[in-house]
Structure 1
């Protein structure tokens, strides 16, 4: 069961953002870490069995403010297999050439 945890963290500079991502990435079960939000102040952590409270506490110790905004269950996107439509092919109709021999009755047609 994958979880998507959104934590609001005070990150005014790029160094603080990298520090927050490093703290989140070292936690057990974390598979993906992103920074989102209008002001780049939301840390999105996706993982399996991630302890959100200990993650928020670790971020609070290092970066002063961290609030858990939401915890959601991440559903895996299943690809639906569509039936492959095979177009009907129409083969051209060929006629078999026939060889016909017409004996020549002669060159004179008036008699």
Structure 2
């Protein structure tokens, strides 16, 4: 989960309401709140929220906005969280190809592991050639 704090110029209550409804309608947002002494900061908590797009939408619809803070929050481990270890930093991500392909997409290349020929055989055992 991400916690994002965005400072937005909101001079009136109508602007605050507009900013809150705009942020709440974004995909992946779990909660939205106002913060700061002047109530000029929007605090967003959610999964899969893009802070750059969110700030851009606030700039277009409400007024000048800047991202103040990005933070990751740890999920509650006692609430049925998975105990799978996190991948090491710099480790390649596991890729699972999609099951369906569109006509304009090319399927991924097929990788084959060929073994050297066994003793007494002249041809390779590799079946893809």
Report the TM-score when normalising by structure 1.
Answer: 0.67
In the TM superposition, residue 50 of structure 1 has moved relative to its aligned partner by 0.2
Q: Which residue of 1 aligns with 2:90?
A: none
How many residue pairs align between the two structures?
A: 78
* Structure with more of its chain in strand, by fraction: 1
RMSD: 1.2
- Which structure has more relative contact order (CA 8 Å, sep 6+)? It is 1
In 2, distance between residues paired with 1:27 and 1:19?
13
Give unmatched runs, 5+ long, in structure 1: 80-111
Show CA shifts across 1:14-64 (max 9, x none). 111110001100111000000000110000000001011100000000112
Q: Which residue of 1 aligns with 2:38?
A: 39
Q: Which residue of 2 aligns with 1:24?
A: 23
In the TM superposition, residue 76 of structure 1 has moved relative to its aligned partner by 3.1
Structure with the greater alpha carbon radius of gyration: 1
Report the TM-score when normalising by structure 2.
Answer: 0.58
In the TM superposition, residue 11 of structure 1 has moved relative to its aligned partner by 0.8
- Note if contact 2:10-2:63 (Cα within 8 Å) is conserved in structure 1: no
Q: Secondary structure at the match of 2:20?
A: helix
Give unmatched runs, 5+ long, in structure 2: 79-129
In 1, distance between residues paired with 2:38 and 2:70?
20
